[in-house]
Amino acid sequence: EATRKLGLAHVVAGMGRICLALALSATVGHAFHAGRALSLNVARRGIYTASRVSVARLDLATTEKGEFGTTDYSMSFTMDGTPISPWHDIPLEAGDGLYNMLTEIPKMTLKKMEVATKVELNPIMQDEKKGKARLYHGPIFWNYGCIPQTWEDPTVKGDDDVGGAFGDNDPLDVVEIGEASLDMGSVTPVKPLGVLSMIDDGELDWKLIAIAASDKHAADINDVDDIEKFYPGTVSGIREWFRWYKTPDGKPVNGFGHGEKALGKDKAIEVIKETNEAYKNLMEGKTEAGKLWLK
């Protein structure tokens, strides 16, 4: 893996807030391309907007309510006209060894959006803290989302490689490294390449590294070690971005298990299968759901 190419610049802004600017020159070089995979063409303002996209044989439509970037905002989903949960009803697998990724946060954006696992039908909503919308202090340089029908079980203790950390009670996160920006709410078949075992506030929070099957380099990148040739600095950039992104709020840096190594494709697929099995146990009532909204 190449030497880290990340530069961190901390700038004091008004109201005493710190703006964290992450300069990833090699990564950002392909971050501004305007291509769209499964574009939803959804307006980001207004009280109510709707859009439709076909994903394989799925006829998915999204509806937005409230103003984007506020705690009133939500994006809900329907399939063939019936309300669905994007967490529970979008298939895990996309065929040919690919998996479906639901994009929550497009690359080069600041607003922290996520599938609301404790809200009925699990819409995408603005993450909040103490009633205020949460924003990143610098843009995320990759598409970010989750894999449907997965869950990191908070009752299962990890092994020594992750310091015995328990799961974070969320679907499996995925960082998509391709050239195109993916719209929020879009569903994209991705190829798993590797995985980082991030430890966030003592919890295990796996970060799957993947590439859209439609990316021009998807056929050439088959494992985590292939990434550097086509998208230099990406793996180290992902690790450092997630290490530091909470520090402007006064929180400590995040850590990583497995000696901070980005594990390969085989481990990534193993993590997908493990979190899918945990999800199945959750849905079958074998694991306590707590406040999670289940079908």
Active site residues: 136
Burial 35-57 (b: 16+ CB within 10 A, else e): eebbebebeeeeeebebebebee
Distance, CA of 212 to CA of 188 (rounded, Å): 7
- Contact between 190 and 176 under an 8 Å Cβ cutoff? The reply is yes
Please tell me what DSSP assigns to residue 15: G
**Three-point CA angle 252, 254, 257, nearest 5°:** 145
Instruction: Name 204's Cβ contacts closer than 8 Å, sequence gap at least 6.
Output: 152, 158, 162, 165, 166, 167, 168, 197, 198, 257
Amino acid found at 116: A
- Rg of the chain (C-alpha set): 18
Residue 187 in tokens: 């569903």
* Closest alpha carbon to 74 in 30, 38, 37, 104: 104
Number of neighbouring beta carbons within 10 Å of residue 59? 14
